[in-house]
């Protein structure tokens, strides 16, 4: 058991043991419809618990794995100021994982189980972190556009129905706002830099565009969980709505820097006010999220290495009786 918030679903005192009657389900839905938050000790349908665990766990995993592509650039940052900012950002991302694992634990799954499921490839994390950060241009694109996409998603999710997740997201969004400034500053420096720097940035935008379009999940008509999650106000916007919001906010910012977007069909329909675009390669999306992206194996190898070499830190903190102490001479 980790932290005070862990709720043991096998504990008979846990209200989850109460059978799921229609009356309970209706009262639960009414609470959500009235805008009340669900807290860990409240009764909740098994499926709500399962869905929330899945989503928060995937989100926590994304923050943890998300630190890796940027982390590889800490030693290669172009100057000391950029290196300091990147170190702080990477540290924040791992802190976000910590907040989110805490929130997921309130639903009954231990952190150890979550980290194990991540390591063995059973649990998912965001598609975008399975691509390499090839140049410093990628760091600018991750800082501004990937974090920008994450903010769109997280601001929406922060208004959802599960208290611990929303509170974690409010804090995360505040920190992400700094990341966005860091990313924008980086992006502008390259966009107004030498022709080589502009080209490096444009190449990065070209490489990241499709993973960014995938980031918000499959089109609404293919989304498996949206309908149920929206009824429970866990999701407050559909995948397509979030993608549309991202395009509204970020396409003008990319174009005003004189950069182009690698989709000749991208345009806003003035009547529907919706963006139209080429259909991203959804086969690639499903391949990547099932473990066959360019960096999946590398990312999970890092988690295995951490487990092998740093298990003693976890043991020292949580199971001191297992740590072998060497008597002082």
In sequence order, the 6+-apart residues with CB closer than 8 A to the CB of 316 are: 323
- Distance CA(48)–CA(230), nearest Å, equals 11
Residue 98 in the binding site for ligand COA (CB under 6 A): no
Biggest alpha carbon–alpha carbon distance for the chain: 81
CA distances from 289 to 101, 132, 148 (A): 20, 15, 21
Residue from 45, 163, 218, 291 touching ligand COA (CB under 6 A): that is 218
By beta-carbon proximity to ligand COA, the closer residue of 122 and 322 is: 122
Interacting residues with ligand COA between 285 and 304 (CB under 6 A)? 289
- Distance CA(150)–CA(127), nearest Å, equals 12
Interface with ligand COA (CB under 6 A), residue total 24
Site string for ligand COA, 40-69 (x = CB under 6 A): --------------xx--xx--x-------
Q: Which two tokens stand for residue 57?
A: 């766990």
- Distance CA(70)–CA(87), nearest Å, equals 9
Interacting residues with ligand COA between 221 and 240 (CB under 6 A)? 223-226, 229, 235, 239
By beta-carbon proximity to ligand COA, the closer residue of 23 and 279 is: 279
DSSP 172-203: HHHHHHHHHHHHHHHHHHHHTS-HHHHHHHHH
Residue from 69, 137, 143, 217 touching ligand COA (CB under 6 A): that is 217
Question: Nearest approach, Cβ of 146 to ligand COA (angstroms)?
Answer: 8
By beta-carbon proximity to ligand COA, the closer residue of 138 and 202 is: 138
Residue 126 in the binding site for ligand COA (CB under 6 A): yes
- Distance CA(283)–CA(285), nearest Å, equals 5
- Distance CA(326)–CA(222), nearest Å, equals 57
Residue 127 in the binding site for ligand COA (CB under 6 A): yes
Residue from 16, 53, 102, 153 touching ligand COA (CB under 6 A): that is 153
Fill in the DSSP letter of residue 278: P
Under the rule (CB under 6 A), what is the footprint of ligand COA?
54-55, 58-59, 62, 124, 126-127, 150, 153, 157, 214-218, 223-226, 229, 235, 239, 289
């Amino acid at each position: 058991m980790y932290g005070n918030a862990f709720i043991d679903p096998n504990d008979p005192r846990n209200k989850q043991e109460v059978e799921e009657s229609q009356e309970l389900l209706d009262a639960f839905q009414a609470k959500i419809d009235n805008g009340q938050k669900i807290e860990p000790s409240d009764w909740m349908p098994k499926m709500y618990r399962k869905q929330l665990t899945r989503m928060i766990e995937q989100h926590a995993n994304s923050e943890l794995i998300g630190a890796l592509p940027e982390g590889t650039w800490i030693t290669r940052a172009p100057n000391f100021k950029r290196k300091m900012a990147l170190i702080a950002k990477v540290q924040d991302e791992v802190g976000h994982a910590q907040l989110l694992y805490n929130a997921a634990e309130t639903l009954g799954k231990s952190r150890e189980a979550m980290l194990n499921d991540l390591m063995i490839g059973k649990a998912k994390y965001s598609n975008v972190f399975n691509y390499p950060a090839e140049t410093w241009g990628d760091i600018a694109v991750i800082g501004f556009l990937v974090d920008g996409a994450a903010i769109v998603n997280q601001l929406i999710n922060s208004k959802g129905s599960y208290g611990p997740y929303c509170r974690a997201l409010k804090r995360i969004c505040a920190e992400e706002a700094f990341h966005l400034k860091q990313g924008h500053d980086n992006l502008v420096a390259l966009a107004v830099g030498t022709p080589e720097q502009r080209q490096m940035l444009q190449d990065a935008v070209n490489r990241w565009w499709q993973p960014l379009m995938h980031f918000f999940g499959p089109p609404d008509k293919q989304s498996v969980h949206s309908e149920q999650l929206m009824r429970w106000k866990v999701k407050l916007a559909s995948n397509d709505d979030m993608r549309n919001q991202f395009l509204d906010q970020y396409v003008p910012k990319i174009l005003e820097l004189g950069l182009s977007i690698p989709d000749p069909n991208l345009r806003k329909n003035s009547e529907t006010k919706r963006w139209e675009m080429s259909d991203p390669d959804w086969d690639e999306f499903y391949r990547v999220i099932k473990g066959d992206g360019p960096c999946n194996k590398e990312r999970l190898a890092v988690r295995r290495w951490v487990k092998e070499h740093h298990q003693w830190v976890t043991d020292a903190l949580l199971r001191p009786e297992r740590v072998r102490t060497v008597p002082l001479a």
